[in-house]
Structure 1
Amino acid sequence: MIYRFGHCELDLAVVELRCNGEVVSIEPQVFRLLVYLVEHRERMVSKDEIIEAVWSGRVVSDSALTSRIKAARKAIGDSGEQQRLIRTVRGQGFRFIAEVQGQEVPVASAQPGQPLTPSTKFSTAFSTKPSTDLAANPSESALAMPVPAVKPSIAVLPFAVVAVDERQVILADALPHELITALARLRWLSVIARTSSFRFRDPAVDILEVGRALKVGYCLTGLVESRAGRLLVSVDLVDTGNRNILWSEVFDFNFSEVHDICSSLVDSVIAALELQIPLHEAGLARLRTSESLDAWAEYHLGLQAMYHFNHRDNAMAEAHFQRALKLDPHFARAHAGVSFTRFQDALLNYSGDVPAAIESARRYAERGYELDPVDPFTNLVLGRAHHLAGDFETGIVWCDRANTLSPSYAQGQYSRGLASAILCRGQDAMESAERAITLSPLDPLLYAMYSSRGLGHLVLGEVEAGLHWAERGALSPGAHVIIVLIALIANGLAGNEPRAWFWARDAKNRRADVTAALLFRSFPFADPAVRERFSKVLTRFGIPTS
């Protein structure tokens, strides 16, 4: 891919910025920043979003971000005073405003083999037999030469202790042991056995040495100490290639809570790693040439684009997943990723053929599950495929299975909560959404988790509480048009007419053809009274029925 603007071009294949035909020397971080701004030029990107994309979510100062923006502007002949190419949205973020030309990444065919008859209802128990239409895909034939995806890998070291209390000494081994057991449930991550990683007990051990000896890309280290009558547990995720700390957290407990520490800390750490490692893997993949990307790198690039919930990024995500499948046709998570993009297509009607998108989401979900039935992600997309078919009860069963396989799986908790809201089980919706938010407070779908919790309140008639969460959802980065419609409904029900009109205009600006049907096709609320109440609000504020 080459993006051209003004006298400059960004060449992603060779990782070069060229201006007036000459290569401009810039830091890799500045290059990633420019690529991210250009690829998301249709909207403003927030400071937090840039930090997640460029720094992989690590904590950085405003001055560091400002410095990189200044360097990016200088490299392309712009400045903070002129802002001809990169515009500052004061207090919020930045937007690339120059006209860009470039060949879009083609999306591979999403209809493997011969198309099946589209159906909006299918069996409540998916078949686990091989899917003949998927097997008909040349990339999955007996002639294909699959290149297995190489998973990210991690070692959990014994935690260090700053104390003489026997309970702390026990925890220093017990916590890593519990973490290893929980991490082993994550099908996308290779975890070194305790017998190998616990050889490195010396707190002064060099992380580079650990990486070389155990052949892992990441290490999880920790420290247990007491301070002022409290028990503190510090946990660091470290890149073994350069010793950089990618994520760090301090957990604070009462000594009386020792029996609850393991489960609470493990849930929090696992949820954090579900976010931080894929972000870092995607950042590493963006620095490689397209020819050197393996299936796992393609998958992580697709995963990051998938959560942006807009047509363009969804197409990019599918292209990455399809390339991953070309490299490894038996890569279960890549099949699940394609299913997720088709779910998004059906939800927001990108293609104009909702039944076909539903059918494709189902087929790819089935294939992913067939390849790896104990991966939480393959179970999740099966649940979402049932949601698309209107079978929310069965969808919840699959979400529950995903959550059983990985109790820290925030996406599974959120999906269960959304299905409960649509079934008008408000209390279940709120509880599931709250668990998801607690597990993953920086999740790329946090806006949807907020909105799902708001829906739980709204279906129960708790308008003020629903308004609070619906507004938080609509104001969060990544919120799409359906999230905006929920904020409109909440404000309308609360009698906040100016704010309701604001969200009505916002919805129309995001999508000129927005209708109430878009919401109710995706969220067919089980209670007719709830649907009628919401419909009246949308009509009153200018959103047509269909």
Structure 2
Amino acid sequence: MDGEQSVVFAGFTLNPQRQQLQFNGQQLDTYAKVIDFLVLLTAQPDQLVTKEHILDTLWPEQFVSEASISRLVSDTRQLLAQYAPDVTFIQTVRGKGFRFVQPVTDIAPATVADDVPVSEARPDAVTQSEKKYRNPLTVLAIAIAVLGITGWFLTSYFSNSSNTLLVDNEARIVVLPVNVTTGDVQDSWAEFGVMSMLTQQLREFPSLQVTDTDSVIRGLSVIPYASEASADRQFEAVCQALGCTTLVIPSLSIQGGKPQMSYQLVQRTFKSPRYQFEHEDVMSAARQMISHAMQQLMPRQKQRLELQPLYSDNSQANVQFALGVSALYHADYPTAIQTLSMAVEQHADFFWAKAYLADAHYRQGNYEEAVTLIDTLQEASPSFRARLFLGNLQSNILYASGELAASIAITKSLLDELKNANEPEWLGSFLMNTGSSYTSLGELDNATMYLRQAIDVFVEAKLGLREAQARLNLGNALFLQSPNSAAAFDQYELSANLFREFGANAYLAYALTAQAQYKRNIGRFTDASTMLDTITELYQQAGDQEGLLFVDIERADLAVAQQDLQTGLVYAQKAYEGAGDQFTYVRSYTAAMQSLLYLELGELAPIEALLAEQDKYQWFDPRANFVLLRASLAHRRGDLEGAVTLARKVKQSLGEQWTDKHQRYLDCFVHDAQRNQRSAMDYMQGRFKPTN
């Protein structure tokens, strides 16, 4: 105890030497960065602690974005709020930093609670000589989610989440039985059932070493193990006997009348927060927990960008440039724009700072700013690689703006230049972009051809994250060719597994959305809804506004599948308004979706304006109920011959894409035209409604 100094505030006791935080004598579970952050703040109560000082102190000699600070502040506030919900501890000083606003009292060693030995509170208590190993997040690397074309590799690794457990390929994982405390015998299945579900999913990945369920259960029967013991004691007892390095401790309880699944991850030098998942039923809560645990436990692949060849001769500008690119690849676009703009201010002719600034503006949806920068840069006669970068960016902006033919024209012209160049990532990326544009235009044979070529290039070059992106896009094309086909689902599943390995949560959300669609289409509505909850969390973590709009679309589709058209219309309207002029695909899709729902509800007045909005863009959806909307509207208005004429025009334009589902609509229209009498029709499915 000699030499230890603690601080007390609002019932909390913070012991920096032991890396401990207590509330009214109760030991709290958290991770080392939270402790370090609180030590930093409480050392200067009521004083501004700048973001720069936080970065320099907690992440020395590392390039990390301000998003890491935001996550750390959020985690710290959540932890303190669990025990003192009505007290404000950390005040944000906008644009500058943070200050600790509660009174802080330093207490001498003799007044520290001596009745809780360190060995009991934390069996792996850290000595001063061991302290540098307390926080594995400072030494373990997490993948950079490559959200765009990357031709070079960063020399530094950036932490993607300040409270994410990172598991390397040598780790052995043990999942414990669920500690069920609901008092309901019907929940007893979860003890071994949920344990088995998570274990089996983890064992599907060869890179993970996961002890099988039977071995764990046999081992627990012969060791002094108690589920009520502290996380540290459970780790010592179980992992000493079973040889594990990572322990998963799940539990099931009732909170506010609802089942709550939770789990904690424990290593010798790391303990996660207890992650909690509430739902209306145990299985749904368990699925959410398992999905979250999978993201935490997947070993992270490492992809690096080498920035040094892109540096200017201004060292200060280079620092801002590196910070900006770090923020960009962590999807922290406001920070990226801010720091890259500073780099340009410090060195006006910094080509690559301007290029990445244009990329950041594009990703933030500031297309005009991005185009202005690109035009300026193209006047500078850039190198071959620079022209590829700018050309790809131009193509992406055109694609996002709905100008698909123009986007394809750019990528195909650059593909010609790449044929003889040894640039596999660029080649594969342009093939993928071209295939994606063809998908949106409805030219699915061309789409699948280009996307398969892209996958071949990425596989040969061992570019796993890019392969995952291409597989996701191929799944979309195959889905449009044949909804719910096994081929499409296989591509979605392969892409999701790869995204997990790279920690690319934004892309993982896209892949999981496709799987949720599959669940919805086969009638597993509860499963689909649970997956959408997980997807929402992923998009929120990534700050992906367009992704959240896609979730609204999926919720609309899910409501419609359950015959709740009014709720479907509410979600479709929400996504339509949220899209504005920025997210043109969402705008186009939800214009058509609302039209279809109004048609089904018999409210025809808004439809013409919505179809006119849809016509502004080149986005194409060949599904029967969408592509035949105008014919269906004519039929609903009683223009029976007009409905037939419009449907036959669509048939001629679709060619081989015309399917039996399309033909059902045409057959209904012809039937009524021949009888000169309109029948009540289900415009969602293309069939007559049953008569009473």
Q: Classify the TM-score, shorter chain.
A: 0.3 to 0.5
Q: Quick one: higher RCO (CA 8 Å, sep 6+), 1 or 2?
A: 1
TM-score (normalizing by structure 1): 0.48
